[in-house]
Amino acid sequence: MIRIGIDVGGTNTDAVVMDGTQVLAGVKAATTADVMTGVVEALAQALAAARLAPGAIDAVMIGTTHFTNAVVQRRDLAPTAAVRLGLPATASLPPMVDWPDDLKAAIGGHAYLAHGGHEFDGREISALDEQELLAIADDIRAKNIRAVAISSVFSPVNTECETRARDILKKALPDVHFTLSSDIGRIGLLERENAAIMNACLCDLAKLVVDAFRNALDAAGVKARFYLTQNDGTLMDAAYAENFPVLTFASGPTNSIRGAAFLSGVSDAIVVDIGGTTSDVGALHKGFPRPATVAVEVGGVRTNFRMPDVFSFGLGGGSLVVDGPKGVSVGPRSVGYKLVSEALVFGGQTLTTSDIVAAAGRAEIGDPGKVAGLDPDLIARAEARIAQMLEAGVERSRLSAEPLPVIVVGGGSILVKGAIGGLEVLKPNHFAVANAVGAAIAQVSGEIDRVYSLASMSRAEAIKDATDKATAIAVSAGARAGTIEVVDVEDVPLAYLPGNATRVHVKVVGDLDVA
Amino acid sequence: MSREGFPVVEADLLALSLGAALLGTGGGGNPYIGMLRLRELLRRGATVEVIPLEALDDDAFVGSVGGIGAPVVGVEKIKQGDECLRALRGVEEASGVQCAAIISAEIGGSNSIEPMLTAARAGLPVVDGDGMGRAFPEVQMSTFFIYGLDPSPGAIADDKGNVVVFKHVIDMFWLERFARRTAVEMGAGAGFATTPMPGAYVKKFAVPNTLTQALDVGRVILEARAKHQDVVSRLIDATGATLLFTGKVTGVRRELRGGFAVGEADIAGIDAHAGSNARIAIQNENLVLFVDGQPVAIVPDLIMNLHLETGEPITTETLRYGQKIATIGLPAHELMTTPRALEVVGPKAFGYPDIAFVPLSRQRS
């Protein structure tokens, strides 16, 4: 199978062509303001480099920062209503209570509280009230709101309230987009609801972006199906992506980590992706990024969906090196994409990390003569500082004393000298386009996070039930049934609860079924 | 000593939540949801007045309220808002008195906030003090009950309007047992009020000034961060805490035993403690700090972990491998270290019969 992986980043749009597990070509094009021009350009370059006709491509996988940027920049967001089921509980904190005012204003800040919801053990908090929901529908229609996010207390345990409320509202509002919180997040009402609202407000943009990608592929003559990558390193097809754009948040670091795993052949490691301005460090666990266990903020809003646990710090190939009375400092300021004009080694006036590496004779870039006069003591101290920053970043991502290897990818990889904090360093081939490789090799997943009462079933039965449900989700998302394997099982007994209430999390992945 | 009261304002909330989290000694629950609720009330015009213990009339009554249930429910089934207020009304009615002020039983963690929410809703002041000076996992572990308060009546209320009053209980342990069971029926997240206490009793047995302490601690952390100072040493200067250990977490073990999160964390010493190894025994809160095998800080003294660089308080749930932490200690209030109190909150009560409580202050001299 021939696939193309494309990663749309802030500076570069990277593309790779892969035949099975072999990388045929990898290219970088500049990201353009309209994104599509850059994608078409990267696609054309990649096909030319691989000497393939557009018709030879079987599938295209795209990782994009479009939707994250839309939320961060508060643009292209649809007016959205948040409908929460749980009264009389939850009345003390209405939806969007902790959102930044400008983001709340950008989507209208429409919040409704209604009856419904469940207790932790599955009992109803109160009965769903159809008349109450129809009155809310009238208000939504009168205000011309196009998207609705529905959340319900303990919907990860029982989805019934959310689905019934959606059916009632949809009859009254046939042309409105609906997002259910149970489709997106896990336990933690405010964070799950936040993610659902953000998803709903991106629904109009999602249609536009998916159409634009489709057009870009058509323009390049590529007839293959295309997929967007999610933040857990797996794929969703175009139709699914139109409904769940929020799942693309932070897919960039995820793709880097997955690509690093693939290129190095290692499945448990720490991955450092060094760009021009920042480095992202994450942990690779059984071939996938380790997910964050605490709330992750996007655009100032707390969410709790499946974000990779990535730590960013200000070290890149363009980071400024400044010697002062308190010693040498590196970053966080950077010349960024102007590296090739502003760094000393390229004839500029600014001392950067790349100059230090060139002066130390560890990289052949620019004109070595332009950094020949640098003080050897400064070079040594700057190199020590860089090593210290890398070690601190890597330490943050380690969960045990186990000596994992460190895989270094990204354009700034030249900064790494030897081992990091005593750990072996791997720099795989094609390290500069690891993110696009990560997109190209993405699989399809299914995931369940529920609370089970072990009073009525055994632990094994609960895990089997969760695994079956997760498998069904993966197949419906496009996985080939025979290839599905369980990649994560976690069961956590819940403190202060009777009946052995246990939270079970199961994740499965399978190969993409392109037939 | 007489002090003025003061209002709690929105600008205090971050400091208060940081301070309450630190005084939670690793437990007490996350104050985030409570902080949001208090912010909402303040933004809608409610006020919270904090008064010193001395301002209480001897024959006025003081109510004590808090949340009861499971932490996981607290982040999913958010409170209706008046659960604790209804429980307070329940104990007032059953005892035939009206409360003139509210006090927290537990300044550490989320139960530092709940009394303020109730005070704001009831239009009452909140007392600058609490029943623990820190966090503990069970209701009977407060000075109020250790020093002989008759636990009847108690009351518990849910989001729906149900209020259950425990009119007569023979001791605190029965009240804890009944309240815990009822809380589960109520969805494992309910409001709890204990019997109103005479002002004279509260003045004698509450741990004083702990709200101010939580605010001060939080302000020191925020100010040190803003000025790029070393948060840990600023905190030690400001509070008189002892730096017990600095190190890197090399392992964390946790399990659930009898409904409590029990575990241990191993720490390898760095800086002044390089070459030493420490271990913290955990039961919801930090119980005992061992350095090179010897207990150096023991419950009920306060054992608190902070991120070495940011000074962010670390709860036992967020302790993880690789963190560089400072462990600091504060002596528990003298009301918590009498023989009578140690029966309930000393090392023996938490399953360490072989460890004798040696107060921090004495070890230092």
Q: Write the pLDDT tens digit of every residue in A222-235.
A: 988 889 998 877 88
Chain A residues closer than 8 Å to B40 by CB:
92-93, 97
Please, are residues B115 and B126 in contact by the beta-carbon 8 Å criterion?
yes
Q: Does B70 touch chain A (CB under 8 A)?
A: yes
Chain A residues closer than 8 Å to B80 by CB:
87-92
CA distance A282 to chain B (A): 14
Q: What DSSP character marks residue A500?
A: T
Q: Does B260 touch chain A (CB under 8 A)?
A: yes
- Where is A153: in which H helix or E strand? none
- pLDDT of residue B365 exceeding 80: no
For residue A162, tell me if it sits in a domain: yes
For residue A314, tell me if it sits in a domain: no
Q: What is the tens place of the pLDDT at every residue in A135-152?
A: 999 999 999 999 999 999
- pLDDT of residue B296 exceeding 60: yes
Q: Domain count of chain A?
A: 2
For residue A349, tell me if it sits in a domain: no
For residue A191, tell me if it sits in a domain: yes
- What is the DSSP annotation of A127-193? ---HHHHHHHHHHHHHTT--EEEEEETTTTT--HHHHHHHHHHHHH-TTSEEEEGGGT--S-HHHHH
Confidence of residue B259 (pLDDT cuts 50, 70, 90): low
CATH of the domain at A129: 3.40.50
CA distance B83 to chain A (A): 10
Q: What is the tens place of the pLDDT at every residue in B206-245?
A: 999 999 999 999 999 999 988 888 999 999 999 999 999 9
Confidence of residue B1 (pLDDT cuts 50, 70, 90): very low
Pick among A297, A452, A453, A496 to test the B interface (most B CBs inside 10 A):
A496
Q: Does A122 touch chain B (CB under 8 A)?
A: no
Q: What is the tens place of the pLDDT at every residue in A148-193?
A: 999 999 998 888 999 999 999 999 999 999 999 998 878 889 999 9
CB contact under 8 A, A398 and B321: yes
For residue A177, tell me if it sits in a domain: yes
- pLDDT of residue A124 exceeding 80: yes
φ/ψ of A362, rounded to 5, equals -100, -5
For residue A119, tell me if it sits in a domain: yes
Q: What is the ipTM of this complex?
A: 0.89
φ/ψ of A6, rounded to 5, equals -125, 130
In A26-65, the residues whose Cβ lies within 8 Å of chain B are none
Confidence of residue B363 (pLDDT cuts 50, 70, 90): very low
Which of B84, B131, B77 minimizes the C-alpha distance to B103? B131
Q: Which residue has the tokens 């809380």?
A: B183
More confident residue, A30 or A165: A165
Chain B residues closer than 8 Å to A398 by CB:
321-322
CA distance B300 to chain A (A): 22
CB contact under 8 A, A93 and B69: no
For residue A328, tell me if it sits in a domain: no
Chain A residues closer than 8 Å to B75 by CB:
187-190
For residue A301, tell me if it sits in a domain: no
- pLDDT of residue A502 exceeding 80: no
Q: What is the tens place of the pLDDT at every residue in B316-356?
A: 878 888 788 999 999 999 999 999 999 999 999 999 999 99
- pLDDT of residue B196 exceeding 60: yes
- pLDDT of residue A9 exceeding 90: no
Q: Which residue has the tokens 């966090």?
A: B135
The boundaries of the domain holding residue A489 are 442-510
Which of A201, A228, A245 is at the close of a domain? A201
Cα angle for residues B219, B223, B228 (degrees, 5° grid)? 150
* Percentage of the residues of chain A whose pLDDT score is greater than 70: 97
Q: What is the tens place of the pLDDT at every residue in A470-479?
A: 999 898 888 8
The mean pLDDT value of chain A amounts to 89
Please, are residues A90 and A123 in contact by the beta-carbon 8 Å criterion?
no
Pick A495's closest partner by Cβ from B180, B256, B318: B256
Maximum average pLDDT range among A244-253, B132-141, B191-200:
B191-200
Maximum average pLDDT range among A240-254, A428-442, B91-105, B254-268:
B91-105
What pLDDT sits at residue A259?
A: 92
Pick A119's closest partner by Cβ from B36, B187, B261: B187
Q: Does B320 touch chain A (CB under 8 A)?
A: yes
CB contact under 8 A, A120 and B36: no
φ/ψ of A60, rounded to 5, equals -125, 130
Please, are residues A504 and A463 in contact by the beta-carbon 8 Å criterion?
yes
CA distance A495 to chain B (A): 5
Residue A112 exposure: Cα atoms within 13 Å on the Cβ side: 23
What pLDDT sits at residue B333?
A: 95
Pick A92's closest partner by Cβ from B40, B251, B260: B40
Q: Does B268 touch chain A (CB under 8 A)?
A: no
Q: What is the tens place of the pLDDT at every residue in A349-375?
A: 999 999 999 999 888 888 989 999 899
CA–CA separation, A180 vs A184, rounded Å? 7
Pick among B38, B44, B78, B317 to test the A interface (most A CBs inside 10 A):
B78
Q: What is the tens place of the pLDDT at every residue in A403-433?
A: 899 999 988 888 998 899 889 999 999 988 9
Which of A146, A170, A201 is at the close of a domain? A201
This prediction's pTM: 0.86
Chain-centroid distance of CA B48 in Å reads: 19
Which of A172, A201, A230 is at the close of a domain? A201
What pLDDT sits at residue A13?
A: 86
Q: What is the tens place of the pLDDT at every residue in A74-112?
A: 889 999 999 999 999 999 999 999 999 999 999 999 999
What pLDDT sits at residue A293?
A: 67
What pLDDT sits at residue B3?
A: 60
CB contact under 8 A, B76 and A188: yes
Helix, strand and coil percent figures for chain B, each rounded to 5: 35, 30, 35
